[in-house]
Structure formats: structure tokens, C-alpha cells
Amino acid sequence: MTIIPFNVVLSEVEKVLSTSNFEEIDEFINYICKAGVVVVYGAGRVGLSMRNFAKRLRHLGVNAFFLEDTTVPRAGVGDVLIVGSGSGETPTVKTSVEVAHLNGLNILTLTSNLESSISRLSTVTLRINAPSKLDEDHLIHSAQPMTSLFEQSLYVLLDSIVLVMMEKLGETSSSMSKRHNSIE
């Protein structure tokens, strides 16, 4: 029988998250809670994690949308764009950040690259200490392919943020469940 290396994946994610700096987490969460409209975006596998976060924000009662959905309302000054990009240079995400910046949105970024184009335009940046596609010499090396470690760490971080927001907003799994899609 094949042994599945769960311990490799779990220990790598734990190492990344325990060595990341999330000093601005309260500010990050406060921007989300104060915004009239929250738009969430990321590309590829990062985009899947970001899409899941947008859904959980909706369950929390936040007026949140994923950028590629056709139902995204107009957003402007005081609203929020939350983006994920390991490199901070993903072309589609970078362009969306530039447009959001021009329209006065607060930009909240999750990345491994604080020196990136996206980070420089951000209101708040949370740095995930994982290698990106542009950072082959990162101190943390992964046995996993490509940028899997960043994507997994991002997903765990976002679900952890949901737990913090549940407490802050007085939400429970039961109250959130009342906002879940009833047609699926």
C-alpha cells in the first residue's frame, strides 16, 4: 500500500504560517468589515482559494464578490479589493489592482513578495513566507511542485481569518448557514 505523505504537506504549511508576519491582520480585517463592497480576486489555483474566501465572506454577511463573477457591483472609494498573488506580479491581478487603485479602492494583498508591484499599490499587505514562482532561492524549500505551498498556506490563512471574523462579527456556523445557498 502506498504511504501518503500528509506529514510533508502539513509540516510545510505549518512552517510557512508560523514564520509569516501578520502584524497588520487587525487592519486587514477592519477594512473588510467597514467596506460597502468587497471584491476578491486571484488567478489560477490562488484564484480558487480567493473565490472560496469570497463565499465565506458572504456567509459572514459581508457584501463580497469574486471579480470574475458577472454580478460584481460597482465599487469605489472606501470599498475593498482583496487580492492573492504569490509573486505579486501576476499580470491579470496586477492590472485589476491598478484599476482599483485609480478608482480609490483600498487594496488588501496576500503575497510572498513585499517588494512587488501589487504590494506597492496596496493599503495593507499580509506576507505569506512561502516561495513564489519568481523566488527560487527562498529560505523555505518545498517538496511539492510549483507554488502549491503558497496556495495551501493561503487557503489555511483565509479560513483562519474567517474564524477571527466570526468572533468579531458575532457569527456562528449556524448563523452563517442561514446565508448559505439553499438551491444546491
Other beta carbons less than 10 A from residue 16's beta carbon: 23
Q: How is the beta sheet containing 64-66 ordered, strand by strand?
A: 64-66, 38-41, 80-84, 106-111, 124-127
Dist. CA 109–CA 28, nearest whole Å: 9
**Dihedrals φ, ψ of 171, to 5°?**
-100, 155
Take residue 82 and report the three cell numbers written for it: 482583496
Q: Are 72 and 39 in contact (CB under 8 A)?
A: yes
Q: Which residue of the set 151, 167, 171, 184 is catalytic?
A: 151
- 136 annotated active-site: no
Supply the residues annotated as catalytic.
151
